[in-house]
Amino acid sequence: MIDPFGRSIDYLRVSVTDRCDFRCTYCMAEDMTFLPKRDLLSLEELDRLCTTFVEKGVRKLRLTGGEPLVRKNIMHLVRQLSRHLDSGALRELTLTTNGSQLARFAGELADCGVKRINVSLDTLDPVKFRTITRWGDLGRVMQGLDAAQAAGIAVKINAVALKGFNDAEIPDLMRWAHGRGMDLTVIETMPMGEIDADRTDQYLPLSLLRANLERQFTLTDIPYKTGGPARYVEVAETGGRLGFITPMTHNFCESCNRVRLTCTGTLYMCLGQEDAADLRAPLRASEGNELLSHAIDEAIGRKPKGHDFVIDRRTNRPSVSRHMSVTGG
C-alpha cells in the first residue's frame, strides 16, 4: 500500500478496546464515557480486518487500547493473529500495554510469538504513579514486567514527559530501564481530547529535555529503528538506547508508515487529523473482502502529508477531539 506521498504503509495499529483500567491524566478525563460494548467489532471481525491488511502488505501489527489486555478473550485474537507469524506473512505481532495485566498474560503472549512489547510507565514513585494514573498500582506493573522478561519478551518503556511532574525523574527512569536491559522512549504530550488538566502546563519540549540530559550523559545519534516514529540515541554511561518521539517539536510525518484502526472499525490515516474511513460497513456488507479491500485502498489514497498538532496558550481546544484511548496512540 502506497500513499499519495510515496510512503509505503506496512504498519497497522489496532485499538481492540477504548476501555482502560487506568485514567492517566494526560490521556483521559477521570469520568470517561466509553463505547457501548455492542458498538465494538467482534474478535472475529478484528481478525478478518487485520488479515485483510496483512494480505495487502502490512508486516507489523500492534494491538493497543485503551488497555488491550482488558478486552474479554483478547488472547483468542492474539492466538488467531499469530498464524500470520507462522506463515511468514507478518514480521511482528506486538502490543502496547500499561502492564497491569502482564503477570497474567505474559507467558501466553510469548507462546503466541509476541517477542517485544511496549509498556507505558511515567514514574517509579508509587505515590506519583497513583497520581498520574489515578487508579494504577505500581507494584502490579512491576510484577508484570518481571513476568514479561521471564517469558523472554523484550520490553521497551514508554514515558510521557510532563513538565513539573517527571522531567527531573527521567535520568533515574533511564538508568533503571537500561539496568534491566530495557530501552526507554520519552514522548511529548499530544493535544488529543478534552482532559481535566491544561496541556500547556504539562507540555515539555523534548529538545529541552535532551539538552538537560546531555549535561549528565553522552548521547550519540544512532540509526536504530523499530518501525515506529522514535529517533534513538545510545547513552554511553548506561550502554542502553533512549528514544525520542517528538510530534510537537520535530514531527516525523515524512517517514510515516502507519495507519490506525479503532475497535469500531474506523480507520484513521493520521493520528493528528480527524479524517477517517468506515471499514465496518464494507466488512459487514459481504462475506468476501473485495468491498473491504477497496475501502482500504480509498482510505490510503487520502492519507495526509502530516498532522496539525498545536499546544500553546492561544489554542484552548485540543487539536483533535477524540481521546488518545480511542485511536490507540
Which residues sit in the known binding site for [4Fe-4S] cluster?
20, 24, 27, 253, 256, 270
- Give CA–CA dist 12/77, Å, rounded: 15
- Give CA–CA dist 117/94, Å, rounded: 6
Instruction: With beta carbons less than 8 A apart as the criterion, state whether 200 and 183 touch.
Output: no
Which residues sit in the known binding site for GTP?
13, 62, 96, 156, 258-260
Which residues sit in the known binding site for S-adenosyl-L-methionine?
26, 66, 120, 190
- Give CA–CA dist 123/173, Å, rounded: 7
Q: Which amino acid is at 150?
A: A
Q: Is the dihedral of CA 147, 24, 159, 260 positive or negative?
A: positive
Which residues sit in the known binding site?
13, 20, 24, 26-27, 62, 66, 96, 120, 156, 190, 253, 256, 258-260, 270
Instruction: With beta carbons less than 8 A apart as the criterion, state whether 255 and 268 touch.
Output: no
- Give CA–CA dist 279/206, Å, rounded: 36
C-alpha distances (whole Å) from 226 to each of 155, 257, 300 are 12, 12, 22
Q: Is the dihedral of CA 76, 269, 285, 326 positive or negative?
A: positive
